[in-house]
Amino acid sequence: MKQDYYSVEHDGFYGCWYPLNRQTKKGMIVMLGDSSDDLMAQTGVRWLHQYGIAVMAMSADKKDYSYHSYPLERIGKAIAVMKEKGMEKIGIVGASTTGMLALCAASYYPDITLTIALTPCDFIMQGFIRDGLDGCEERPAEGESTLTWNGKPLAYLPYAYKHPDYWHEIEKDAKQRKDKISSRHLFDESERIHPLTEEEMIQIERIHGTIICIGAEDDSLWDTCRYIRRMEARMKQRGKARFVPLCYKYGTHFVFPQSMIRMVLPFGESALFGLLFHSAKLHPNECRETRKDIARHLEAEVIEW
């Protein structure tokens, strides 16, 4: 797969451009995985290439899923490069933390006309660092937002716990839920202690084109369907863009289209997801049907776009 790399030092952002082998004027920013050239990112590239869409894969850094003080201007620099390459339509897709990032970026850059957010939240999260400090896989970035604009941190929901209690609470929650990882209690408790302010909410009404938000009720990382319903209500009151909420009972935090999952795992994906999330183990068929339905919706949307 042909690819051109971009670095923060030379280009102002970390990413990888995956052109099509034919002419196209559609380009999608993809923020999946830990790096812009890892398996998850390249699977997203292959999936979008099927529909005539070139891809700029982006990540915080190489092999690093920490997000703290990430400058939103990096998205703008990537958009400028894509325009230089002839892209007339720009979209963005993110999942989990980058689902939030995708929504926020689209609210700042009107060039983005298709925004796909998988398991997003509707507020800016506090930054987090994955460096293994004190044996903890992840810790809060004290005093830092996940995102900045013009060198200043965006207002964020502070976590209910500090290091090392933050990671210990995640481990405790995962054990109780029988999941590999679970932070739902962390986010529920954070919002209980610190009720969200308007300043901390993503201004999704500023987004242009189409917004697609996807989540499942059994998501153990956070209550994404509640967040999606709040965004839907916000858009009805203030927004002009087309908002497509897709909420399912089962699907866990991995609400990827089944056709994309099949590119990585031709078989046995239910067993793998069952090792990560207890709900996937209990409801493998329902989760699979969710992913199939997501595939039908997303395939229709990207073709229409």
Q: Give domain limits for the chain.
A: 4-304
Residue appearing with tokens 């965004």? 231
Cα–Cα dist 27/82, whole Å: 7
pLDDT of res. 146: 98
Per-residue pLDDT of the chain (305 residues; tens, 9 = 90+): 789 999 999 999 999 999 999 999 999 999 998 899 999 999 999 999 999 999 999 999 877 789 999 999 999 999 999 999 999 999 999 999 999 999 999 999 999 999 999 999 999 999 999 999 999 999 999 999 999 999 999 999 999 999 999 999 999 999 999 999 999 999 999 999 999 999 999 999 999 999 999 999 999 999 999 999 999 999 999 988 999 999 999 999 999 999 999 998 887 788 889 999 999 999 999 999 999 999 999 999 999 99
DSSP letter at 199?
G
E strand residue ranges, 7-161: 15-18, 26-31, 54-58, 70-71, 89-95, 112-118, 126-129, 139-145, 147-149, 152-153
With beta carbons less than 8 A apart as the criterion, state whether 166 and 194 touch. no
Nearest in space to 207 (alpha carbons), one of 131, 107, 58, 71: 107
Please state, in angstroms and rounded to a whole number, the distance separating the CA atoms of residues 129 and 133: 9
- How many Cβ atoms from other residues are within 10 Å of residue 86's Cβ? 12
* Bridge partners (DSSP) listed for residue 128: 67, 140
The region, left, alpha or beta by phi > 0 then psi within -120 to 50, assigned to residue 186 is alpha
Q: CA-to-CA distance for 183 and 99, rounded, in angstroms?
A: 16
Structure tokens at 108: 């700042």
CA–CA distance, 247 with 228 (Å, rounded to integer): 8
pTM score of the predicted model: 0.97
- Give the dihedral of Cα atoms 32, 127, 252, 31; nearest 10 deg: -10
Helix or strand holding residue 105 (H, E): helix 97-108
Task: Give me the architecture of the 4-304 domain, per CATH.
Answer: 3-Layer(aba) Sandwich (3.40)
Please tell me the distance from the alpha carbon of residue 61 to that of residue 75, in angstroms, as a whole number.
13
- Taking a C-beta distance cutoff of 8 angstroms, is the pair 14, 58 a contact? yes
User: What is the three-class DSSP state of 230?
Assistant: helix
Residue 36's pLDDT is what?
92
